[in-house]
A and B are shown apart, each in its own frame.
Chain A
């Protein structure tokens, strides 16, 4: 009997303490895994996040991230309190376990977001943007959601720093959202990272929803290639290779001079891109940045962000407010991009498909792929992918700059 008792005490059931809310979180983990595996919504993100949620919510497992209060206080398993910033890493690993070690070493220090930006840069081709420079401006319009939600969150009683971290979800850029939140409201990192990454993964659902609400069939059938033939581009690029090498160097210099707080993101993005564009000269570095480092960073980020989603941290009104506010920020950004394209069309002969505006939020290249699918539903010959990529890529720069502004004003 004693052995059976001990066996029971070993299981998670004995350690629930009568609190069964972890079951809700496990259900949420299953939903995220279902969306990633069966629906294939950003599986590279949703599967590590979903599994992280699963790991974090087994009572007694010790894999959940222990959130620090705004003054840095954490409660250790033995009930004592410590300031997390005064704890050496080995003590965090010993007292709080593996997942907290990864989280406080890689995420909370702000190390992973710029590293992921480097990988994103290495995987990004600025060619479509350089070929369609005028479309790049839509990357700015789609940042409106960030500031609109910031304003709404302030009205609801969030502090300016919290409101800014909430609004940045509208930039549709996970690393940017994490980076901004670490700087402004680190105690909200868990729910904000989850909301940002979940909505990024749900781009195939959210973009069509907003597009259907705001666009007519006629607008969605605007054929960008036909427009190009009717009104050809005046500037011809004679040497794309040299241009692509100069571009990241020049953009980094300009952004670093004007918004230095954005340089850790934009700079790393452009560094990754430069490695790609230099070709054989830096191919070894490019391969490491775009594969090994990027994949390692994604695994650590996904698992530890998922592990922040424990029932204590997630099932409360602030988190629900963040999830709702994040959705609004996301939808407003897409809507603002669409409206900007519509206004643009009022004044120009060469019309722009509003989908190009919708992809002004980051989420590269998923948003562009989704936009292309929507366009081909209305006209199978209307491929807008390359045009959407122009605004999509500039959206990455746009959201990093918006983050830089928020950090310099509120940090």
Chain B
């Protein structure tokens, strides 16, 4: 009977603790969401703006690419634009 009493106590304490910890995790996450939304609201916005910018290709690299294209296409091909993928 003593052991059963211990079992019931453990059940009560265990279930309450598990519920309490998960509730804390849930509310902590909600708090984190609010803080992150305020402090860092956008997900890496700079990268998205930078991707279409194709102009800033090093002139040396551009010259190498143009030379390679000329060589491969026997002078028929020209480079119109270079994009980073």
Contact = CB atoms under 8 A, between A and B. Distances in A.
Contacts of A239: 36-37, 40-43
Main secondary structure, interface of B, reads helix
Contacts of A147: 7, 10-11, 14-15
Nearest to A126: B29
B32 A246 contact: yes
A394 B22 contact: yes
Interface string B15-58: 10111011111101110111011001111100000000000000
A288 B45 CA distance: 30
Given A150-B10, A238-B36, A254 B28 contact: yes
A235 B18 CA distance: 24
B85 interface: no
B37 A151 contact: no
Contacts of A137: 19, 22-23, 26
A255 B23 CA distance: 12
A365 interface: no
Contacts, number: 124
A247 B15 CA distance: 23
Contacts of B4: 151, 154-155
B36 A242 contact: yes
A140 B19 contact: yes
A274 B25 CA distance: 16
B29 A133 contact: yes
A130 B15 contact: no
Interface size on A, as a range, is: 35 or more
A151 B8 contact: yes
A134 interface: yes
B79 interface: no
A310 B18 CA distance: 36
B72 interface: no
Interface string B50-81: 00000000000000000000000000000000
Given A151-B4, A235-B30, A236-B37, 10 more contacts: A150-B10, A154-B3, A154-B4, A159-B3, A160-B3, A250-B32, A254-B24, A255-B21, A258-B17, A406-B10
Interface of B: 3-4, 6-8, 10-11, 13-15, 17-19, 21-26, 28-30, 32-34, 36-37, 40-44
23 contacts: A133-B29, A136-B25, A143-B18, A144-B15, A147-B14, A148-B11, A150-B10, A155-B4, A155-B7, A159-B3, A160-B7, A164-B10, A237-B36, A238-B43, A240-B43, A243-B29, A243-B32, A251-B25, A258-B21, A401-B18, A401-B21, A402-B18, A409-B10
